[in-house]
Amino acid sequence: MKGFEGRRIEEYSAGYFGICTLGGMVSTGATHFASTPLDCLKVHMHVNPVKYNGFASGLSTLWREQGPSALWRGWSGKLCGYGLQGGAKYGLYEYFKKVYSDLLGDRNKSFIYFTSSLSAQVFADVALCPFEAVKVRVQTQPSFAKGMIDGFPKFYATEGATGDHTYLSLPNIFLTVAMIMFTTFEYSVDFIYRNILQTRRENCSRAQQLSVSCLAGFTSAAVGTVISNPADIIVSSLYNKKAETMMQVVRNTGIANLFTRSLPVRMTIIGPVVTMQWFLYDSIKVLSGLPTSGGLKKRPEEAKTLPEREIAVSELAEKV
């Protein structure tokens, strides 16, 4: 592969998974921190759609009534919570993808992608849940706390280790979304190389590979945003005491509104955020001498370069 001749970290080694975890933490934490103002508006639109009924008007209302600092409320939860989630999500996804690929081969790629993302997301969302619970309270209830430092003790004191809505059940809502987004990314990468560029990843420059990661990342974000919108509304409503159960949220909101309410705002947030996540994540891998993301572990015969294959074929022909 061009540009990787001096690779010092072996793929699928402990160092490789460490780089993936670090890349996930940096890319996810940084991008979610930068999107805090839009996330704050999104949460307010979920819990008070009448007052915050538009993108520009919602931002204006927040700024006017609560001041500019309100747009950054919950930033520490975004940075820390999603940083931990991203490290677990990306690092463990690469790990489980290798494990399941070794066990199953490449006979059923979709199953490997689904189960790998499922396994990783369980750990990732458990790490995120307490941060998300406090963040939503801080954003929508200014009197609750100023941030994570005073928010965590108050949350624990008032609701205990699991909270009224058992926030540790939150992964059950988002697991399917993660599975679809990772699988969409994998197949998008394969489609771009196979049908658009019509060449192997190894024959592309670093810039081309990172561009593929961005395009595939945006595609997965678009699909995931539509699918996850109902779950996002349910979480915001539960944590803000707008309903006691998920079914009550569904009845109060309506099926159609679950898919459409705040969807443009979420698309504005998630599309660029996920795209930038994959760009930063794969940039860190490239700077570490590793290839960009996508695909299963190569079999020994697949890992040979074209000249090596030609030599092997010629040697076989001579023996015959």
Amino acid at 107: R
**Lowest-pLDDT range of 58-72, 74-88, 184-198, 306-320:** 306-320
Q: Are residues 210 and 271 in the same domain?
A: yes
How many domains are contained in the chain? 2
pLDDT for residue 171: 47
pLDDT for residue 239: 61
End-to-end, the C-alpha distance of the chain in Å comes to 32
Q: Are residues 47 and 93 in the same domain?
A: yes
Q: Are residues 51 and 194 in the same domain?
A: no
Amino acid at 256: A
Q: Could you say which of 168, 198, 228 is where a domain stops? A: 168
Question: What's the pLDDT band for 298 if we cut at 50, 70, 90?
Answer: low
> CA-to-CA distance for 157 and 151, rounded, in angstroms?
10
300 occurs within a structural domain: no
More reliable by pLDDT, 115 or 125: 115
| Tokens of residue 20, six digits | 């993936």
Q: Could you say which of 149, 168, 187 is where a domain stops? A: 168
313 occurs within a structural domain: no
Residue 87 neighbours by CB distance under 10 Å: 24
Q: By three-state DSSP, how is residue 79 classified? A: helix
310 occurs within a structural domain: no
Per the structure, the complete domain to which residue 102 belongs is given by: 10-168
Q: Are residues 164 and 174 in the same domain?
A: no
pLDDT tens digits, residue range 136-152?
778 777 777 777 777 77
Q: What is the secondary structure of 170-182 as a DSSP string?
A: THHHHHHHHHHHH
Q: Are residues 134 and 257 in the same domain?
A: no
> CA-to-CA distance for 234 and 242, rounded, in angstroms?
9
25 occurs within a structural domain: yes
- Percent of the chain having pLDDT more than 90? 36
Question: What's the pLDDT band for 260 if we cut at 50, 70, 90?
Answer: confident
Across the range 53-66, mean pLDDT stands at 82
156 occurs within a structural domain: yes
> CA-to-CA distance for 148 and 29, rounded, in angstroms?
15
Question: What's the pLDDT band for 45 if we cut at 50, 70, 90?
Answer: confident
Backbone angles phi, psi at 49, to 5 degrees: -65, -20
pLDDT for residue 5: 46
Q: Are residues 151 and 225 in the same domain?
A: no
Mean of the per-residue pLDDT values of the chain:
81
Q: Are residues 173 and 221 in the same domain?
A: yes
Element (H, E) at 202: none
Question: What's the pLDDT band for 44 if we cut at 50, 70, 90?
Answer: confident
Name the range with the highest mean pLDDT among 57-61, 118-122, 162-166, 257-261.
Answer: 118-122
Across the range 248-273, mean pLDDT stands at 82
Residue 206 neighbours by CB distance under 10 Å: 17
Q: Are residues 191 and 265 in the same domain?
A: yes
Across the range 11-40, mean pLDDT stands at 92
Q: Are residues 146 and 187 in the same domain?
A: no
Q: Are residues 163 and 180 in the same domain?
A: no
Across the range 100-106, mean pLDDT stands at 87
140 occurs within a structural domain: yes
> CA-to-CA distance for 242 and 46, rounded, in angstroms?
10
Any idea which residue has 């159609």 for tokens? 256
Across the range 264-287, mean pLDDT stands at 90
More reliable by pLDDT, 318 or 289: 289
Q: Are residues 159 and 134 in the same domain?
A: yes
Contacts with 60 (C-beta within 8 Å, 6 or more apart), sequence order: none
pLDDT for residue 84: 94
Q: By three-state DSSP, how is residue 12 classified? A: coil
303 occurs within a structural domain: no
pLDDT for residue 174: 62
210 occurs within a structural domain: yes
Q: Are residues 190 and 111 in the same domain?
A: no
Cα separation values, 296 from 57, 186, 279, Å? 46, 9, 19
Whether 219 has a pLDDT exceeding 50, the answer reads yes
Question: What's the pLDDT band for 129 if we cut at 50, 70, 90?
Answer: confident
117, 183 in Cβ contact below 8 A?
Answer: yes
Element (H, E) at 103: helix 75-104
